[in-house]
Amino acid sequence: MEHVIKELNEFLKGQYMGIHSYEHYIQKLEDSKIKKEFQQIQQEHKIHAMKVAKRIQNLGGKPVDDEGFVGSIQGFINQLNLPDTPEGLIKGALKGEDFGIQMSEEIVKSDLDDESRELIEEILDRDRQHTFLLSKLIQ
């Protein structure tokens, strides 16, 4: 179970990275429609983080409570590369969601128990819907 807890904590770090990235984007957005969409996505990441933390606890582990040092550096670098236009912020969020999905797919490939795998796959499906929503905002 130690391996499963470690993988779930890595996934949880990614959720926190997403939450903090959306916080940055929301502060910069002036368009209320886009801001509302970003707030909804951020809220879902928070719910996902709580579910994963609960699963880790149920497995007897201690959930991480932030994205970790590497995640915070990566988030900072990603924010430097984006223009603060609505389109730039949407593209940044889309890039972050895509990256998160790729990393999460790797975690799902590892040795997770069935309940943990189902939880991660459910979250991944929702994250894919986020990319669809974000893509529609650019058009």
CATH of residue 120: 1.20.1260.10
> Whole domain around residue 133: which residue ranges?
2-138
Q: What's the pLDDT score for residue 117? A: 93
Greatest mean pLDDT range, 19-28, 38-47, 76-85, 109-118: 38-47
Q: What's the pLDDT score for residue 82? A: 64
Asked if residue 81 has pLDDT above 70, the reply is no
Domain count, the chain: 1
Q: What are the tens digits of pLDDT across the range 59-74?
A: 999 999 876 655 555 5
d(CA 12, CA 67): 8
pTM listed for this prediction: 0.88
Asked if residue 131 has pLDDT above 90, the reply is yes
Cβ–Cβ contacts within 10 Å for residue 9, how many? 17
